[in-house]
Structure 1
Amino acid sequence: MLPPELRTATEALAEVDHLLVALDFDGTLAPFVGRPEDARALPGSAEALARLGGGDAPGSGPRTTTALLSGRHLESLRLVASPPEEVLLVGSHGAERYSPETGDEPLTLSGAQEALLAEVTAALRGVSEAFAGARLEHKPSGVVLHVRQCSPADGEAALARARTALAGERDVHVTEGKAVLEAAVVRVDKGVGLDWLRSVSGAGTVVFAGDDVTDEHAFSTLRPGDLGVKVGDGETSAAFRVGSLEDVTEFLNLLASVRTL
């Protein structure tokens, strides 16, 4: 059940002229699974998001733009989310971007960044090969160590070894989330990604929901009148919190209802 204060704040968005609804994917729309490629949004959340993004035409009244803001690279995000063409996308914590008007914004690494990425990938490959269940995910600007399928002890040990392996790399941006560690050679975060979404959409008010520590960068960019929703436990700068993915579904359905009255 949604907190009464969140219901009131959501209902107050009914008359916003142009609203951007940006959402994290894993842990917000979709449950965590052993294999990242198997993740799918809860059906109710996917349907509510489609309702929010459909049927608005410029000049016809209040507009709602929808977006996904994820740590996944764009190819992976498209695979698991199957977003309609009109949904704005930000992948790799802001390094990759898509809008219907411009298509994918290419990410180009310098020669030095490519060499550094190869070095970092080799270091984390050594970690992943040392622990049963650990695996790597490759992105255009980084590499991710996943330990969700490790035993708890092995997962912690793998993350600790990865931190040590990367400790001397000054030009590597290390981000940790739930059972993952990402090393990127391009320094961006979800705050940068949300700022881009706000700019490219032209929306005056933003809703953002996320569950992980990496989402705090996005929460920190929210302005007066915006609405931030933290999913689950943990410290947050978001004004509101829900306890489960089912609560996210309820929130999105309420938001879709007030935006389409």
Structure 2
Amino acid sequence: MDFDGTMAPLVSRAEDARPLPAAAAAFAALAVLEGTTAALVSGRALASLRAVASPPEQALLVGSHGAEVWLGPDSPALALSPDQQAALHRAQDSVQAAVAANHGTAAEHKPAGVVLHYRQAAPEAAAAAVERVLDELAKDPEMFITEGKMVLEVSVVNANKGESLAMLRDATGATALVFVGDDVTDEHGFAALQARDLGIKVGPGDTTAQFRIDAPAQVPAVLELLLATRR
């Protein structure tokens, strides 16, 4: 499961997001079901994901689009090379300068990147901030830039949700995957699904997912149906 815009409705401030109670309950029940693995696959840093999602202890967690992974107590911590550390500092400086110059924008720092948020900015300020960061970083070979819903993310680790789902499939020995997401970054996940898998897009927009629901409010029914079927 993606989190923001899927398990939880989108909100103006990322720290205010919380999962819909019925979605959280069904997800937690799936996490303890025999023969079933539940995972959150999010663009958030792991620390942020844990803070807002309060996931069950049995759930697997993928943060920063795959740059951070928690598969249990023995999961290795993220380690950046000196070149990646230097690139991270350049990315942080660029985004911080754009935020300082454009009211309503904000920076979110992650272990392997930095995110420019502009949901609360006027259109002119948002466009100016995005343009400034792209002008400074888009041609830097150490940067991997992704655009999402009112965010521009710069990472020094090349990771995406498609690679994350493939990793989870291998790690768990899953015979089929169900993946639900709402953003353009989730399209990497949908593209990685195989014939026995199921992809569900939440909300509008082009997608390669087989099915679509209208909003996060419909996610609990999807998870409850999956739970009943697995039981």
Question: Equivalent of 1:175, from 141, 146, 153?
Answer: 146
Q: Which moved more, 1:210-219 or 1:165-174?
A: 165-174
Q: Give the aligned partner of residue 134 of structure 2.
A: 163
Distance of 1:242 and 1:68 partners within structure 2:
19
Q: Which of structures 1 and 2 has the larger relative contact order (alpha carbons within 8 angstroms, sep 6+)?
A: 1
Matches within 5 A, 1:2-17: none
Report the AA paired with residue 178 of structure 1. Answer: K
Question: Equivalent of 1:75, from 47, 63, 79?
Answer: 47
Question: Equivalent of 2:59, from 78, 82, 87?
Answer: 87
Higher strand share: 1
Q: Give the total of aligned pairs.
A: 231
Q: CA deviation at 1:258?
A: 1.3
Segments of 5+ residues of structure 1 without an aligned counterpart are: 1-22, 57-62
Using the size of structure 1 for normalisation, the TM-score is 0.86
Q: Does 1:188 align with 2:159?
A: yes
Structure label with greater radius of gyration: 1
Q: Which moved more, 1:159-168 or 1:107-116?
A: 159-168
Whether the aligned pair in 1 keeps the contact of 2:43 and 2:65 (CA below 8 Å) is yes
Q: Give the aligned partner of residue 207 of structure 1.
A: 178
Q: Does 1:35 align with 2:13?
A: yes
Report the AA paired with residue 20 of structure 2. Answer: L
Q: Give the aligned partner of residue 199 of structure 2.
A: 228
Q: Give the aligned partner of residue 146 of structure 1.
A: 117
Distance of 1:206 and 1:139 partners within structure 2:
27
Segments of 5+ residues of structure 2 without an aligned counterpart are: none
Whether the aligned pair in 1 keeps the contact of 2:138 and 2:145 (CA below 8 Å) is no
Report the AA paired with residue 181 of structure 2. Answer: G
The C-alpha deviation readout for 1:205-232, integer Å capped at 9, x for no partner, is 0000000010011111100010000111
Distance of 1:165 and 1:39 partners within structure 2:
31
After the TM superposition, list the runs of 4 or more consecutive aligned residues in structure 1 that deviate by more than 6 angstroms: none
Report the AA paired with residue 27 of structure 1. Answer: G
The C-alpha deviation readout for 1:94-122, integer Å capped at 9, x for no partner, is 0110112x443211111111111101110
Q: Secondary structure at the match of 1:161?
A: helix
Q: Give the aligned partner of residue 13 of structure 1.
A: none
Q: Which moved more, 1:172-181 or 1:47-56?
A: 47-56
Q: CA deviation at 1:157?
A: 2.6
Q: Does 1:255 align with 2:226?
A: yes
Q: Secondary structure at the match of 1:86?
A: coil
Distance of 1:245 and 1:31 partners within structure 2:
6
Whether the aligned pair in 1 keeps the contact of 2:144 and 2:156 (CA below 8 Å) is yes
Distance of 2:209 and 2:170 partners within structure 1:
21
Using the size of structure 2 for normalisation, the TM-score is 0.96
Identical pairs, percent: 49
Q: CA deviation at 1:162?
A: 1.9
Distance of 1:95 and 1:129 partners within structure 2:
27
Q: CA deviation at 1:244?
A: 0.7
CA RMSD of aligned residues (A): 1.2
Q: Secondary structure at the match of 2:92?
A: helix
Report the AA paired with residue 92 of structure 1. Answer: S
